[in-house]
């Protein structure tokens, strides 16, 4: 894993010392809130509905066991004993006191972490495939690229006041688990002619108020050209992007309004200029970073009773069927630890859970953990002979739920339980769906399904790309939920279609049940997933299930 250089360390320490003084000046009254607000946002500190919230960057979703342990300590010492893992692979602490935040930032600095650029109109924390460096289908580990971008974009003097926030996602696998097509810039590591790897560069994706699928701006970019090309895109956007209207300020609107051809020409012209200013130091740095992401020494050992345990224990077997993914190294598995126990808050982990995960990472996964954008924790490198013991240990802290990819593995933003921007709650909707489908025993029968819930139009909960998306709105002073169908978050990114009028808060779970019972009745066989059935049959039969009164009237 990448370790902070002396430069990184000194920079973070200096920023923390500055922020400590800024907090002191705010408390003394020397700074007004108007003056202080941009300073706190630059350091990831928001003021939410009930309290401050500190958003900590987890670059490309990778954590060491020591870092996870420190997050547990922070949660316990300065928060209410838990943290919330987000859809951008960050962690949010929901209850810090303003005067404690400098100490929290110092504690993060002790383990090479910070909250810089987790807010504001800058290049945000770079996200990546949560199975990076472990997945069997991977062309190349995307994290060295993401780390290079982190170093280039952190405190980049030209890009601190962009028209709007800017998000970059990287995948090294053709099976896109990083939702690159929903990013301002998406990078896909691809193999070019002659077998050399480079990047397919996508631009102009985004969810939110105006969802758009990113388009290819450059089918193949040489690795050595990455930073000058990114610099060209972002500086072109910095000038061409709109600043007159916040809702039209993202690069997706810049590309849409100008057209890809014009935008590409402007980027290419800028690239020619910028390229000369890059002296080639960046490929050298990339090579050094790549070295620090060298895979651990995977052990070559027999399965050690794994198959026997699967046969003997149906609970363990069910967990292995849902929570494991094929690893590149023989005899190993990628383990996804569900933070979606039925009825729990999606993405929340207690300090005790974080400590256990850190210990288990040390014991079974070469000290590494990942946070997925689907708000689960990944132990990327587990030998199959350790899975039985790992599963038993996970059970002790309620972390052995066998539901990855099922109806209860729901993405949900914090919604109006925490967020000042939210228009409705998300968390209790997710809890309601998860507990209901467990109670009626249909979860396994329904199979693969992605439900994604956002508590406002900004779409932190990725509702547009859920097979079933739920968007919470305020309709005349009452919570109301719109349902979208047919979204897809993968390399075939598809935006779901709105099914019809919204549902009241307590109508959502029954509506989802009608929808999924219709799917069970309509599918060809158990192998046909909800999304496949939707694509085969179209929206109509599903709309009829959601709105039975309208369907009956139309039929009359």
Partner 1 sequence: MSRAFTPKVVTANALIEGDVVYLTADDRWTRDHAEAELIEDEAHAQLRLLRADRQRDIVVGAYLADARQGAGGPEPVHFREAFRTRGPSNYPHGKQEAGHV
Q: In angstroms, give the least distance from the CB of 417 to partner 1.
A: 4
Q: For residues 99 and 308, which CB has a smaller minimum distance to partner 1 in the complex? A: 99
Task: Give the nearest distance from C-beta 348 to partner 1 in angstroms.
Answer: 8
- 28 vs 193 by CB, closer to partner 1: 28
Contact 417, 84 (CB under 8 A): no
**3-class DSSP assignment, residue 403:** coil
Q: Report the distance separating Cα 59 and Cα 46, nearest Å.
A: 19
Tokens for 137, please give them.
């289908």
| Closer Cβ to partner 1, 26 or 383, answer by number | 26
Nearest CB to partner 1, comparing residues 393 and 427: 427
Q: How many Å separate Cα 31 from the centre of its chain?
A: 34
DSSP states along 413-472: --GGGT-SS-SS--HHHHHHHHHHHHHTT-HHHH-S--EEEESSTT-TT-GGGSSEEEEE
CB closer to partner 1 out of 329 and 352: 352
CB 355 within 8 A of CB 302: no
Can you give the binding site for partner 1, defined by CB under 8 A?
26-29, 32-33, 47-52, 80, 94-99, 345, 348, 416-418, 425, 427-428, 431, 474, 477-479
CB of 452 to partner 1, least distance (A): 18
- Least distance (Å) between residue 29 CB and partner 1: 4
- 207 three-class SS: coil
Identify which of residues 99 and 210 has a Cβ nearer to partner 1 in the complex: 99
Closest CA relative to residue 56, chosen from 21, 24, 14, 88: 88
Q: Please, what's the b/e burial string for 69-105 (b: 16 or more CB within 10 A of its CB; e: otherwise)? A: bbbbbbbbebbeebbbbbbbbbbbbbbbeeebbbbbb
Report the candidate in 141, 69, 144 with the shortest Cα–Cα distance to residue 112. 69
Residue nearer to partner 1 on the CB measure, 34 or 554: 34
Torsion sign across C-alpha atoms 179, 55, 293, 285: positive
Comparison of 428 and 500: residue with beta carbon closer to partner 1: 428
Task: Compute the least distance from the CB of residue 26 to partner 1, in Å.
Answer: 8
All residues at 6 or more sequence positions from 203 whose CB lies less than 8 Å from its CB, including other chains: 184, 185, 186, 214, 215, 217, 233, 251, 255, 263
Least Å distance, CB 414 to partner 1, is 8
Report the alpha-carbon distance of residue 303 to residue 487 in Å, rounded: 38
Beta carbons of 378 and 369 less than 8 angstroms apart: yes
For the bound state, the minimum distance from the C-beta of residue 80 to partner 1, rounded and expressed in Å, comes to 6
Q: Which is nearer to partner 1, 50 or 209 (CB)?
A: 50
CA angle 352, 357, 360 (to 5 degrees): 125
Q: Let me know: does 418 contact 436? Beta carbons within 8 Å.
A: no
Radius of gyration of the chain (CA): 23
User: Least distance in Å: CB of 477 to partner 1?
Assistant: 6
Judged by beta carbon, residue 255 or residue 429, the one nearer partner 1 is: 429
488, 535 Cβ separation under 8 angstroms = no
- CA–CA gap between residue 556 and residue 8 (Å, rounded): 69
Please, which residue, 37 or 514, has the CB nearer to partner 1? 37
Minimum distance from residue 533 beta carbon to partner 1 (Å):
32
Alpha carbons 24 and 358: distance in angstroms, whole number: 34
CB of 423 to partner 1, least distance (A): 8
To partner 1, the closest distance from the beta carbon of 415 in angstroms equals 9
H or E element in which residue 153 lies: helix 143-153
Which of 458, 490 has the CB closer to partner 1?
458
What lies within 8 Å, CB to CB, of 271 at 6+ separation is: 225, 228, 229, 232
The nearest distance, CB 119 to partner 1, in angstroms, is: 15
């Amino acid at each position: 894993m990448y370790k902070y250089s002396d430069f990184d360390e000194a920079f973070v320490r200096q920023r923390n010392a500055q922020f400590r003084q800024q907090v002191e000046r705010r408390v003394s009254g020397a700074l007004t809130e108007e003056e202080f607000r941009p300073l706190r946002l630059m350091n990831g500190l928001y003021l939410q509905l009930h309290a401050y919230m500190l958003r900590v960057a987890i670059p490309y979703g990778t954590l060491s066991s020591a870092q996870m342990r420190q997050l547990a300590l922070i949660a316990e010492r300065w928060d209410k004993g838990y943290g919330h893992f987000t859809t951008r692979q960050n962690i949010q602490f929901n209850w810090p006191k303003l005067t404690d935040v400098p100490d929290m930032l110092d504690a993060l600095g002790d383990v090479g972490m910070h909250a810089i650029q987790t807010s504001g109109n800058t290049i945000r924390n770079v996200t990546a495939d949560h199975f990076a460096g472990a997945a069997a289908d991977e062309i190349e580990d995307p994290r060295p690229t993401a780390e290079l971008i982190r170093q280039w974009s952190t405190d980049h003097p030209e890009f601190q006041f962009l028209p709007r926030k800017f998000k970059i996602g990287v995948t090294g696998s053709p099976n896109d688990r990083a939702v690159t097509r929903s990013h301002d810039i998406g990078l896909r590591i691809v193999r070019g002619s002659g077998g050399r790897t480079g990047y397919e560069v996508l631009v102009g994706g985004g969810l939110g108020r105006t969802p758009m699928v990113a388009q290819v701006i450059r089918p193949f970019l040489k690795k050595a050209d990455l930073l000058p090309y990114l610099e060209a895109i972002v500086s072109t956007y910095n000038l061409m992007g709109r600043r007159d209207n916040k809702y039209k300020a993202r690069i997706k609107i810049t590309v849409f309004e100008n057209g890809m051809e014009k935008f590409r020409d402007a980027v290419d012209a800028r690239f020619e200029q910028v390229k000369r200013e890059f002296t080639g130091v960046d490929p050298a740095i990339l090579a050094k970073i790549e070295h620090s992401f060298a895979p651990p020494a995977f052990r070559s050992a027999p399965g050690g009773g794994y198959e026997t345990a699967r046969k003997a224990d149906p609970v363990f077997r069910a967990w292995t069927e849902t929570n494991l993914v094929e690893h590149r190294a023989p005899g190993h598995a990628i383990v996804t630890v569900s933070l979606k126990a039925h009825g729990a808050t999606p993405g929340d982990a207690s300090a005790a859970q974080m400590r256990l995960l850190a210990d288990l990472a040390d014991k079974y996964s070469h000290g590494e953990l990942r946070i997925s954008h689907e708000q689960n924790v990944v132990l990327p490198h587990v030998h199959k002979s350790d899975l039985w013991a790992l599963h038993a240990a996970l059970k002790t802290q309620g972390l052995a739920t066998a539901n990855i990819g099922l109806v209860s593995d729901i993405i949900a933003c914090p919604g109006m339980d925490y967020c000042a921007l939210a228009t409705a709650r998300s968390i209790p909707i997710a809890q309601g769906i998860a507990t209901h489908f467990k109670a009626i025993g249909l979860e396994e029968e329904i199979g693969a399904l992605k439900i994604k819930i956002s508590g406002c139009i900004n779409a932190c909960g990725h509702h547009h790309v859920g097979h079933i998306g739920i968007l919470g709105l305020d309709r005349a002073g009452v919570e109301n939920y719109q349902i979208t169908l047919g979204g897809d978050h993968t390399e075939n990114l598809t935006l779901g279609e709105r099914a019809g009028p919204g549902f009241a808060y307590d109508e959502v779970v029954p509506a989802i049940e009608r929808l999924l019972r219709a799917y069970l009745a309509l599918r060809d066989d158990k192998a046909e997933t909800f999304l496949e059935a939707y694509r085969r049959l179209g929206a109509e039969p599903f709309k009829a299930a959601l709105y039975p009164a309208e369907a009956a009237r139309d039929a009359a």
